[in-house]
């Protein structure tokens, strides 16, 4: 079946959550949002492109930082209201310079840092 980005379920702001996962290690890197046009751009360019809610503009991941996400596989869930992109991540995915945004765990009721920022 031909894929049409308009057949996804977007929220009341026209957005769909997107999970980015490292295609080699399986590490979950980040979660961000796309609108239908960002979905189209991501599939057309092979460069993961989100919609920035704070800037209200396209966010070609890594365009300024160089920490690009090359699309390896594009997946949608059963309800068509969440996406999973398998990516080849250059450098850290997180703006704190950590590989993943999920570097804090809650263990025994306390926040624990799991990863330090990468050093160049």
- Quick one: DSSP state of residue 5? G
Check residue 116 for interaction with a copy of itself (CB under 8 A): no
- Selected from 36, 58, 70, 82, the binder of a copy of itself by CB under 8 A is 82
- Selected from 36, 58, 74, 91, the binder of a copy of itself by CB under 8 A is 74
3-state secondary structure of 105: strand
Check residue 37 for interaction with a copy of itself (CB under 8 A): no
CA 116, CA 90: separation in Å to the nearest integer? 17
Check residue 98 for interaction with a copy of itself (CB under 8 A): yes
CA 59, CA 33: separation in Å to the nearest integer? 10
Tell which residue, 66, 91, 73, has the closest CA to residue 18.
73
Check residue 15 for interaction with a copy of itself (CB under 8 A): no
* CB of 68 vs a copy of itself, minimal distance in Å: 19
């Amino acid at each position: 079946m031909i894929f049409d980005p308009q057949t996804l379920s977007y929220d009341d702001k026209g957005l769909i959550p997107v999970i980015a996962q490292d295609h080699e290690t399986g590490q979950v890197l980040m979660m961000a949002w796309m609108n239908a046009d960002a979905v189209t751009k991501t599939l057309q360019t092979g460069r993961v492109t989100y919609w920035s809610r704070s800037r209200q503009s396209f966010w070609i991941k890594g365009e300024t930082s160089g920490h690009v996400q090359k699309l390896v596989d594009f997946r949608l869930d059963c309800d068509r209201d969440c996406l999973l992109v398998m990516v080849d991540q250059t450098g850290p995915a997180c703006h704190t310079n950590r590989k993943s945004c999920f570097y804090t765990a809650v263990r025994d009721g306390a926040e624990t840092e799991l990863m330090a920022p990468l050093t160049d």
